[in-house]
Amino acid sequence: MAARARSVRLLSSLPGRARQLNAGAAAAAGDVFLFLHADSHLPPSAKRVLEDTLSDPAVVGGRFDVCFDRPSMWGAIISTLMNVRSRISRISTGDQAIFVRRQVFERLGGYSDIPIMEDIDFSTRLKQAGRTAAIRDRVMTSFRRWERDGPLRTILLMWSLRFLYWIGVSPHRLTRLYAAVR
């Protein structure tokens, strides 16, 4: 689909999300980068809200709130908790459409070349670089993984991986663990 779109430039890179995100940033021409997962959609207000948010030079980047594409009780609970957790911790996941000023991205060295937790690592470094924004407008993302694997199982898996990451388990080891339980 991307190859057929006139306004899209299709890039290739080595495997790995961090490498792909960095390749996209290297090819981009703008002063602000927004990283959007392929199964996510920006709200119609995104451009205006980003311009308003970034009109404050103290804001180095940030993220959007998230909602799911299939309304359900579980989806509402999970997205609300994700948004609250992120607002309190100032740590974002890729599903939340992380955005950053180019100069800050470059100063931080982009995404770390790790196979998992690249979004957690980057947003942790981003909040140390300055003020981050938590935009309340919602990015809509796929609920597919949650439906396929079950909400409780997915929550336990994600929180377990994050906990192990926070206590220092290598992202390479976490990748093997993630593959083993999937």
Look at residues 47, 39, 73, 71 and name the one whose alpha carbon lies nearest to residue 135. Answer: 47
Rg (CA), the chain: 16
- What would the mean pLDDT of 32-41 be, rounded to a whole number? 94
The answer, yes or no, to whether residue 132 has pLDDT greater than 90, is yes
How much of the chain exceeds pLDDT 90, in percent? 82
Distance of CA 177 to the CA centre of its chain: 21
- What would the mean pLDDT of 23-31 be, rounded to a whole number? 94
Give Cα separations from 44 to 49, 50, 55 (angstroms).
Answer: 10, 11, 19
Each domain of the chain, given as residue ranges in start order, spans: 2-144
Report pLDDT for 180: 82
What pLDDT digit, counting tens, does each position of 2-22 carry?
667 777 778 888 888 999 999
The answer, yes or no, to whether residue 81 has pLDDT greater than 90, is yes
* Cβ atoms within 10 Å, residue 57: 9
Report pLDDT for 143: 94
Please tell me the CATH superfamily of domain 2-144, with its number: Spore Coat Polysaccharide Biosynthesis Protein SpsA; Chain A (3.90.550.10)
Q: Which tokens hold the place of 158?
A: 């994600």
Strand partners, 61: 100, 132
Averaged pLDDT score across all residues of the chain: 93
What pLDDT digit, counting tens, does each position of 53-72 carry?
999 999 999 999 999 998 89
Q: Which tokens hold the place of 64?
A: 């959007």
The answer, yes or no, to whether residue 90 has pLDDT greater than 90, is yes
Task: Please enumerate in sequence order all residues whose Cβ is within 8 A of that of 75, keeping only pairs 6 or more positions apart, or say none.
Answer: 67, 68, 143, 146
What is Dmax (Cα atoms) for the chain?
45
